[in-house]
Chain A
């Protein structure tokens, strides 16, 4: 019965969501980027010179503006900017979604444990969450990069997830607290269900929709942090990402000479995060807006 109610609510929510101007715009922008990410798989097949990382146009030595063979121009070693942009879309999705997913998993587990057990464990976990919440993740990633050297993209994803779960766990905790004394939980307890079973079978399905709402905000911050890190030159050197492209423009001194190279990557980062943020806000209006305390953290 619980499930049927959930799906009904999901359908109703989706209707409101898609009629919401923010939600609609968000979905449209996101679809464009999805197509871009898909296209990145096919571009290098057309000609090896369109490979975003290693493809160098033999005829070009300097950065050139948009033209017929290179629609958005090339960078200073003759790589195609459009190909890099498409590859960047793929990387941004991978980084944003996986990092958000991991932080949702961590945040939901900790939030449920804190809310369900209460007492000293709850207090300790939430204090810990407070400490992590106030720390700027970019600065932490920088200090870690200085100590451990260059990170590969998955380590960056994991570190962002580990730094950005507290906001999720707070919301999940308060939701768990309100569920804890509902009759159906009491009933399963009387029926002899173990704590683990109550948390996983009865509480988790009820907090998951909320957790996924928070996922959109986590995606935004993960993409921004990764892009900033790459921009500063501490990203994964084997991956083309939008932040990395901006770093190349900046470091090669082309920022005042090559607007066709400077504008696209930053515009993409801004638009993609805007789209995810709009999705989050639209979903927020669908689900309970009063539950939301915090939408932005670095």
Chain B
């Protein structure tokens, strides 16, 4: 179990990093061409509403005061008002976050489990035809260009064969009528399949390759020889002694490859019109909706940092050799 001191240290670290990002974003908004008022306050608002927003965000104050108000607003959840929706950004984002988390966690977890399982088998049969087929396909999966792959899946599975809906997250007709909860869940799952499949296949490749190389190095360890000398069955050595230790670096890599998955997630959401944070960010950027873009960015940064924190703690908990 991780020590409380270690958890605290990690929390402080994440806090500092997030603060650096928050500050960098503040200065970027001030450094970019155009004045900050036009960036944070919708020019289409009535003068009273504009004055209220300018006052709330302190845009008429000196720079250092603006910064303090910006930090305070962040922690109290005042991200400003979206230009496009005309609603507070916080409420829009809260709605999108659940969809992103649903897609992101399911695809990462499924891919990690499948990758560890298949990588274990590939490494165990190193050099065989099975291993070669698995490694090469993993390599191909990993380097597939995500938007293209997603479009192909959409075209073949969605359009040609009509197996899955072409986009969105639910069928409006079903939700307006009083369908049962079960039917609704099934509907969401039906919409989830294609984006999930895209991210699953891409992530699976990298986890499989990682698990394979990690497993290969573990198999050279002395304790595997000891286990063999004790006369344990091959299956036991593979699953209990080798695979458990080999899976540890894969967990760290979930943290390291998070940036990669977030990029992929945003592209996938965009193509399947999945109403998540990534798609919202792209939408905000295309429409110059600065308050919304800023909030989406900060939220993504926060998700990345939290996931890294979870990975770090999980790793410390799983591997007792780590003491800080």
C-alpha spacing A246/B140, complex, angstroms: 20
C-alpha spacing A145/B271, complex, angstroms: 20
CB within 8 Å for A274 and B270 given contacts A135-B304, A147-B28: no
Whether a CB of chain B sits under 8 angstroms from the CB of A143 is yes
Which of A131, A233, A267 has the most C-beta atoms of chain B within 10 angstroms of its own C-beta? A131
A–B complex contacts, Cβ < 8 Å, 6 sampled: A131-B20, A134-B304, A145-B285, A246-B147, A255-B155, A298-B261
Report B-chain residues with C-beta under 8 Å of the C-beta of A224: 145
C-alpha spacing A133/B294, complex, angstroms: 20
Among B142-162, those with CB < 8 Å from A are 142-149, 151-152, 154-155, 159
CB within 8 Å for A232 and B270 given contacts A135-B304, A143-B293, A296-B206: yes
CB within 8 Å for A134 and B258 given contacts A228-B267, A274-B140: yes
How many Å from the CB of B97 to the closest CB on chain A? Answer: 15
- Report A266-298 CB contacts with B as 1/0, cut-off 8 Å: 110110011001100100000000000010111
CB within 8 Å for A269 and B145 given contacts A143-B293, A146-B284, A297-B256: yes
- Report B29-46 CB contacts with A as 1/0, cut-off 8 Å: 100110000010000000
Report B-chain residues with C-beta under 8 Å of the C-beta of A134: 17, 255, 258-259, 304-305, 308
How many Å from the CB of A264 to the closest CB on chain B? Answer: 10
Whether a CB of chain B sits under 8 angstroms from the CB of A5 is no
Q: Are A227 and B145 in contact (CB under 8 A)?
A: yes
Report A-chain residues with C-beta under 8 Å of the C-beta of B21: 131, 135
How many Å from the CB of B58 to the closest CB on chain A? Answer: 20
Report A-chain residues with C-beta under 8 Å of the C-beta of B255: 134
C-alpha spacing A269/B284, complex, angstroms: 27
How many Å from the CB of A25 to the closest CB on chain B? Answer: 9
Whether a CB of chain B sits under 8 angstroms from the CB of A234 is yes
Whether a CB of chain B sits under 8 angstroms from the CB of A7 is no
Q: Are B297 and A139 in contact (CB under 8 A)?
A: yes
Report A-chain residues with C-beta under 8 Å of the C-beta of B105: none
Q: Are B300 and A265 in contact (CB under 8 A)?
A: no
Whether a CB of chain A sits under 8 angstroms from the CB of B218 is no
How many Å from the CB of A232 to the closest CB on chain B? Answer: 6
- Report A130-164 CB contacts with B as 1/0, cut-off 8 Å: 11011111110011111111000000000000000
Q: Number of residues in A with C-beta < 8 Å to the partner?
A: 49
C-alpha spacing A124/B141, complex, angstroms: 36
Point out the residue from B33, B145, B154, B294 that lies within 8 Å of A270, measured CB to CB: B145
How many Å from the CB of B185 to the closest CB on chain A? Answer: 29
Which of A133, A227, A296 has the most C-beta atoms of chain B within 10 angstroms of its own C-beta? A296
Number of A-B contacts (CB under 8 A): 143
CB within 8 Å for A297 and B259 given contacts A234-B285, A255-B154, A265-B148: yes
Q: Are A277 and B257 in contact (CB under 8 A)?
A: no
Indicate the size class of the contact surface on chain B. Answer: 35 or more
Among A208-252, those with CB < 8 Å from B are 220, 224-225, 227-228, 231-234, 243, 246, 249-250
Whether a CB of chain A sits under 8 angstroms from the CB of B262 is yes
Point out the residue from A139, A227, A262, A294 that lies within 8 Å of B151, measured CB to CB: A262
CB within 8 Å for A274 and B304 given contacts A136-B262, A232-B270: no
Additional pairs, 11, CB under 8 Å, beyond known A131-B17, A270-B148: A131-B21, A133-B259, A135-B301, A136-B258, A136-B263, A136-B266, A138-B262, A138-B267, A143-B294, A250-B151, A298-B257
Point out the residue from A130, A144, A231 that lies within 8 Å of B147, measured CB to CB: A231
Whether a CB of chain B sits under 8 angstroms from the CB of A11 is no
C-alpha spacing A231/B145, complex, angstroms: 11
How many Å from the CB of B265 to the closest CB on chain A? Answer: 9
Q: Are A277 and B142 in contact (CB under 8 A)?
A: yes
Q: Are A136 and B147 in contact (CB under 8 A)?
A: no
C-alpha spacing A265/B147, complex, angstroms: 11
CB within 8 Å for A298 and B260 given contacts A131-B20, A143-B297, A270-B145: yes
Q: Are B270 and A142 in contact (CB under 8 A)?
A: no
C-alpha spacing A224/B290, complex, angstroms: 26
Whether a CB of chain A sits under 8 angstroms from the CB of B91 is no
Q: Are B148 and A232 in contact (CB under 8 A)?
A: no
C-alpha spacing A285/B25, complex, angstroms: 41
Among B137-187, those with CB < 8 Å from A are 139-140, 142-149, 151-152, 154-155, 159
Whether a CB of chain B sits under 8 angstroms from the CB of A48 is no
C-alpha spacing A232/B152, complex, angstroms: 17
Whether a CB of chain B sits under 8 angstroms from the CB of A118 is no
C-alpha spacing A136/B300, complex, angstroms: 9
Whether a CB of chain B sits under 8 angstroms from the CB of A8 is no
C-alpha spacing A131/B151, complex, angstroms: 32
Q: Are B155 and A262 in contact (CB under 8 A)?
A: yes
Whether a CB of chain A sits under 8 angstroms from the CB of B215 is no
Q: Are B297 and A147 in contact (CB under 8 A)?
A: no
- Report B51-84 CB contacts with A as 1/0, cut-off 8 Å: 0000000000000000000000000000000000
